[in-house]
Structure 1
Amino acid sequence: MKTINKIMCILFLMGSTSVFAQSTTTKFSITGGCEGCQSKIESAAQSVNGVTAAKWDKDTQIMEVTYDAATTSEAAIQQSIANAGYGAGSYKANAEAAKNRDCCQVIEKKEDNRELDKTRRPDEKPQ
């Protein structure tokens, strides 16, 4: 009988610990611009331990993240996204990571430079 009581007590305690996990959902702004940005932003958020869901809307530039508040924080999630090269909440984008992105913003800059290059003959070197 004592063994059964011990087992029941252990099972009760194991089940009650999941009640203490506090799921929090928050929204904050992210600077990005394309679907390539979207997958990188969401991946950066989901790489943080404790994040259970992350969805960024490229039209509104708003990120919605659900996470375990006992494991991580909104600041840690924003820092991870900033480290990936995107401004997140009050965190500025890591300049080096932003410069090395191969999506919309970098491609647009390269295309702008090509437009300027069209004014030169192909055999001319830039000055």
Structure 2
Amino acid sequence: MKKIIFSLMAALFVTISFAKNEDDKVVKIKTTAVCEMCKARIERTLGLSKGVKESNLNLKDKVVTVKYNPKKTTPEAIMATIINTGYDADGQLANKKAHDKLPDCCKKTVAPH
């Protein structure tokens, strides 16, 4: 009897966790990140943002892929987070004060390294 109840509870848990993931969306945003420090900074900041499930910045093409809950955030809010971190996002210019506070190696005028 205990095995049947445990099996039913496990099946219910798996069903609920899959149902939650179906609502998630993905957005890809072009940035001006140039190094591993940029990658860490953007991913950390996005990770602290409400509704963002995960983010991954590909430094080769400078595109950050963000998986998010559309009930809690929007692509515009995600872009605003990147902009306020000091990086351009899909052609929208970075917040100047935030960009000026970045280490010299992370500024957009620096060659990728």
Question: Which residue number in structure 2 is paired with residue 60 of structure 1?
Answer: 61
Please, what TM-score do these two structures have when normalized by structure 2? 0.72
Which aligned segments of 4 or more residues in structure 1 are displaced greater than 2 angstroms?
A: 18-21
Q: CA RMSD in A?
A: 2.4
| Counterparts of 1:33 and 1:80, CA distance in 2 | 17
The corresponding residue for 1:31 is: 32
User: Which structure 1 segments of 5+ residues have no match?
Assistant: 1-11, 110-127
Question: Which residue in the other structure is 1:71 paired with?
Answer: 72
Give 1:88's aligned residue. 89
- Tell me the number of residue pairs that the alignment of Structure 1 and Structure 2 aligns: 94
If the length of structure 1 is used for normalisation, what is the TM-score?
A: 0.64
1:19 shift after superposition:
3.8
SS at match of 2:56: strand
Q: Distance in 1 between matches of 2:45 and 2:89?
A: 11
Corresponding residue for residue 46 of structure 1:
47
Partner of 1:98: 99
Indicate conservation of the 8 Å contact 1:79/1:91, yes or no.
no
1:25 partner SS:
strand
- Using the aligned pairs only, state the percent identity: 24
Relative contact order (C-alpha < 8 Å, sep 6+): which is higher? Answer: 2
Q: Deviations over 1:91-116 (max 9, x none)?
A: 3201011111115145x87xxxxxxx
Distance 1:42 1:103 in 2: 19
- Check the 8 A contact 1:36/1:103 in 2, yes or no: no
1:31 partner amino acid: T
Following the alignment from structure 1 to structure 2, what is the Cα–Cα distance between the partners of residues 88 and 45? 13
Distance 1:32 1:23 in 2: 25
CA positional deviation for 1:90: 4.3
Runs (5+) with no aligned partner, structure 2: 1-11
